[in-house]
């Protein structure tokens, strides 16, 4: 984005509510990420949007309605259970046989979690027929892509010549990964297109893969009447977004939750009391303490701690009283600081303490859910307003399902000889653990 656009920070949840919920129309565009500007420049300005980057309007609405109605609708989440069950089995096997370090710890917890969640998301996207080797290949490229985007720091344009050279190199790496992604995904899109057109399509157990919905989708035809089908390059972007957004955030949340669980054995004990007598599918319905653990994790460590908006000058009045700088004359950007809201001592008692009980009856988070209610914002890890995260339902179900299984199957403890988990945060594409979680992961005798 042009360096001249003023960027404001809003940490006050009342003002965030006034803007994102009460004046949602005026606060429904995101700044264009440098990645998208740069990629469009390489394609003669041809648009390469995904749902996250596209401007609020009819094209966005078509993409969003399709995703929420066809793939992420709450009524379809039950269809995830077989995919989750298979992924849980793989995860339990992988963690059971993972090599241990000198302090008897598993060092690559994150990678194992990523593999398991990705396999659910990839099959939800492409259907069950996509084989394990291809899922692994996609996962590698998507992970590299997110890593590379995190390094480009989409909003930094300042710095010395050296900084710019470094950044340009990173952008080039990103372009190269982007090309690789396209080469990898296009054959899968083509294969799936053939499969759905065949007289006997593969049985998906009642689920409809995300790509299938993209084949049927018709979007407004820019500058012309009527609607048109999606182009292949648009599908590649939407699929990349689906695979990336659906995995990285969920894994970040799970890793933070496990970090606190390892840090506080009491939390693990309470969780176990709840999950030991449960069936995986019951996780969706009633496990209040597990639900509280996930909310507490998202309060303290929202994977996306900043929610940016591009705002027209005439909406500046909405933010009066909350601006960190004098009101701008022209259009401006606002960063709503989800991270600050989650740790605001005016809203939360002892905000730096991991205390899931606060979300149970009588606690200071009693009644607070993953999305803000219509009246006020206490925390907003999934955003707010028109652009709130459409994956909230699937994310909560996946995090809870995997955590429940990990509690039921394993004992989680600090590596031998260490006193505490290092909970320092680091900015990457998502807010992640600076020192990835290592833990002693011992198989429990009692099993599902």
The annotation places the binding site for heme at 389
Q: Which is nearer to ligand HEM, 154 or 302 (CB)?
A: 302
CA 393 to chain CA centroid, nearest Å: 12
Rounded-to-integer distance, Cα 347 and Cα 375, Å: 15
Q: Which is nearer to ligand HEM, 51 or 258 (CB)?
A: 51
Q: Which is nearer to ligand HEM, 105 or 384 (CB)?
A: 384
Rounded-to-integer distance, Cα 421 and Cα 150, Å: 24
User: In 120-217, which ranges are E strands?
Assistant: none
Interface positions, 189-248, toward ligand HEM (CB under 6 A): 241-242, 245-246
Interface positions, 303-332, toward ligand HEM (CB under 6 A): 303-304, 307
Among 268, 390, 400, 406, binds ligand HEM (CB under 6 A): 390
Asked if 280 and 401 count as a contact pair (C-beta separation under 8 A), the reply is yes
The DSSP secondary structure of 19-59, one letter per residue, reads IIIITGGGG--PPPPHHHHHHHHHTTT-----TTTSPTTHH
User: Taking Cα atoms as reference points, which of 283, 332, 270 lies closest to residue 31?
Assistant: 332
Rounded-to-integer distance, Cα 408 and Cα 148, Å: 35
Asked if 294 and 422 count as a contact pair (C-beta separation under 8 A), the reply is no
387 binds ligand HEM (CB under 6 A): yes
Among 16, 109, 122, 394, binds ligand HEM (CB under 6 A): 394
154 binds ligand HEM (CB under 6 A): no
User: In 96-254, which ranges are E strands?
Assistant: 218-220, 227-229
317 CB-contact burial (10 Å; exposed 0-12 / middle 13-18 / buried 19+)? exposed
CB of 415 to ligand HEM, least distance (A): 26
Among 126, 145, 256, 382, binds ligand HEM (CB under 6 A): 382
Total binding residues for ligand HEM by CB under 6 A? Answer: 26
Q: Which is nearer to ligand HEM, 149 or 307 (CB)?
A: 307
Residues making up the binding site: 389
CB of 257 to ligand HEM, least distance (A): 10
64 binds ligand HEM (CB under 6 A): yes
CB of 317 to ligand HEM, least distance (A): 21
384 binds ligand HEM (CB under 6 A): yes
122 binds ligand HEM (CB under 6 A): no
Among 15, 51, 219, 405, binds ligand HEM (CB under 6 A): 51
Site string for ligand HEM, 245-264 (x = CB under 6 A): xx--xx--x-----------
- Around Cβ 211, how many Cβ atoms within 10 Å? 25
Kindly state the DSSP code that residue 284 receives in the 8-state scheme.
G
- Around Cβ 269, how many Cβ atoms within 10 Å? 11
- φ and ψ at residue 217, rounded to 5 degrees: -65, 140
Among 383, 412, 421, 440, binds ligand HEM (CB under 6 A): 383
Site residues, ligand HEM (CB under 6 A):
51-52, 64, 241-242, 245-246, 249-250, 253, 302-304, 307, 381-385, 387-391, 394-395
């Amino acid at each position: 984005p042009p360096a001249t656009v003023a960027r404001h920070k809003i940490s006050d949840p009342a003002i965030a509510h006034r803007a994102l919920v009460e004046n949602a129309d005026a606060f429904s565009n995101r700044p264009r990420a440098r990645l998208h500007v740069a990629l469009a420049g390489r394609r003669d300005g041809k648009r390469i949007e995904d749902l996250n980057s596209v401007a609020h309007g009819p094209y966005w609405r078509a993409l969003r309605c399709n995703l929420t109605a066809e793939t992420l609708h709450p009524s379809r989440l039950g269809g995830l259970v077989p995919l989750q069950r298979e992924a849980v089995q793989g995860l339990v096997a992988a963690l059971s046989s993972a090599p241990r370090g000198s302090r008897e710890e598993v060092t690559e917890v994150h990678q194992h979690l990523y593999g398991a969640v990705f396999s659910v998301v990839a099959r939800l996207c492409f259907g069950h027929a996509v084989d394990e080797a291809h899922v692994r290949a996609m996962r590698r490229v998507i992970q590299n892509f997110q890593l590379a985007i995190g390094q480009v720091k989409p909003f930094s344009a300042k710095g010395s010549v050296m900084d710019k050279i470094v950044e340009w190199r990173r952008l080039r790496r990103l372009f190269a990964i982007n090309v690789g992604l396209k080469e990898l995904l296009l054959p899968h899109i083509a294969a799936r297109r053939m499969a759905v057109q065949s007289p006997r399509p593969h049985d998906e157990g009642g689920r409809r893969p995300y790509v299938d919905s993209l084949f049927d989708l018709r979007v407004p035809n820019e500058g012309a009447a009527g609607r048109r089908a999606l182009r292949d390059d648009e599908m590649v972007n939407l699929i990349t977004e689906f695979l990336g957004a659906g995995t990285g955030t969920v894994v970040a949340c799970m890793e933070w939750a496990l970090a606190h669980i390892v840090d506080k054995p009491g939390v693990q004990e309470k969780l176990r009391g709840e999950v030991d007598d449960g069936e995986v599918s019951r996780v969706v319905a009633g496990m209040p303490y597990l639900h509280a653990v996930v909310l507490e994790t998202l309060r303290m460590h929202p994977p996306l701690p900043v929610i940016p908006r591009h705002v027209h000058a005439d909406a500046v009045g909405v933010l009066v009283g909350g601006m960190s700088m004098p009101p701008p004359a022209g259009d401006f950007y606002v960063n709503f600081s989800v991270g600050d809201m989650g740790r605001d001592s005016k809203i939360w008692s002892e905000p730096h303490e991991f205390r899931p009980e606060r979300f149970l009856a009588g606690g200071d988070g009693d009644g607070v859910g993953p999305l803000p209610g219509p009246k006020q914002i206490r925390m907003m890890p999934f955003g707010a307003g028109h652009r709130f995260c459409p994956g909230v339902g699937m994310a909560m179900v996946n995090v809870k399902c995997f955590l429940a299984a990990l509690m039921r199957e394993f004992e989680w403890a600090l590596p031998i000889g260490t006193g505490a988990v290092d909970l320092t945060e680091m900015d990457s594409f998502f807010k992640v653990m600076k020192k990835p979680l290592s833990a002693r992961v011992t198989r429990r005798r009692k099993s599902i």
